[in-house]
Amino acid sequence: MMVDEIRKVGVFIKRDFRILFTYRLAFSTAFLGIIFNLFYLVLFGSMFGSRELSALLPYGGDFISYILVGSIGWGFMWSIMGMTSSSLRSEMMMGTMESILLTSTKISTIMLAYTIFGCIFGLLSIGILISVGFLCFGVSFGTATIHTFIIMFLSALLMMGFGMIFGGLTIWVKNIGQVAPLIQNVAMFFCGVYFPITVLPNYLQPVAKYVPFYYSIEGLRKSLIPTTPESEIMRYVIILLVLSVAFILIGLYTLHKGLSKAKKDGSLAFY
């Protein structure tokens, strides 16, 4: 039973890649967009020259490295979230959600498949960003440790949970897709993706502590700085572990609630 569900995850991912490759232009332009965005930010940063920025001193002081790490972490996390919620939305819009649910496939299997597909997509983006960062700007990620990967993994789980919450709400209240970019932009503001939160006004800085994604980005940065004490990195690991478990549980609950509501009001095939 469990083995069957795991095999089904592979079936979904294979299907998604097949469909993705039929949109060759969209597929390649998505990656081109990532590269152009990176160039845009790095060139923007080049205005500051090679001088160290005081706000970035805790992170090594180099703006290009700062931007690159932020882009990698944020891009990876939101590709998971985006893939999870948009896949669910498009299954409902196309009407294939009902066909899938007629096959006794568990909703958690479906969500896991979307998440893993998002992870793969995110990892491809990371690969591109790292390659461009290294080849064009000489930025190396040689300082990455096992903690970096643990933080990435936990961030993936966190985003899976967030994706499930969003997915559940999508099934539940439908027209919620438009809210995602707003959440993304607001969260980005408080997560230190393109600037450290210390540059925010004093009264706004504490808000970051309540934004779960902050711990992913900040943890990722700290794990890449060789001088960061292990105890500090472990603090981020533990916080992310707790947050990801909580988000997954809330996500599963929201999904099941959304699904039973859609089954009650007959709206599974509508968005």
The contact set with another protein (CB under 8 A) reads: 4, 7-8, 11, 15, 18-19, 22-23, 94-96, 98-105, 260, 263-266, 268-269
CB of 46 within 8 A of CB of 40?
no
**CB nearer to another protein: pick between 37 and 267:** 267
Q: How far is the CB of 89 from another protein (least distance, A)?
A: 14
Record the tokens describing residue 151, joined without a space.
């933080």
**CB nearer to another protein: pick between 86 and 244:** 86
**CA-closest candidate to residue 188, choices 162, 159, 208, 158:** 208
Q: How far is the CB of 125 from another protein (least distance, A)?
A: 22
In the chain, the amino acid numbered 151 is I
**CB nearer to another protein: pick between 51 and 264:** 264
Q: How far is the CB of 116 from another protein (least distance, A)?
A: 16
- Classified as helix, coil or strand, 150 is helix
End-to-end C-alpha distance for the chain, whole angstroms: 31
User: What CA–CA distance (Å, rounded) separates 192 from 55?
Assistant: 11
Q: How far is the CB of 264 from another protein (least distance, A)?
A: 5
Q: How far is the CB of 152 from another protein (least distance, A)?
A: 30
User: What CA–CA distance (Å, rounded) separates 90 from 252?
Assistant: 19
**CB nearer to another protein: pick between 7 and 209:** 7
CB of 168 within 8 A of CB of 107?
no
**CB nearer to another protein: pick between 103 and 231:** 103
**CA-closest candidate to residue 87, choices 156, 166, 155:** 166
**CB nearer to another protein: pick between 235 and 261:** 261
Per DSSP, the residues of 43-66 read HHHGGGTTPPPGGGGGGTS-HHHH
User: What CA–CA distance (Å, rounded) separates 48 from 169?
Assistant: 43
Q: How far is the CB of 104 from another protein (least distance, A)?
A: 5
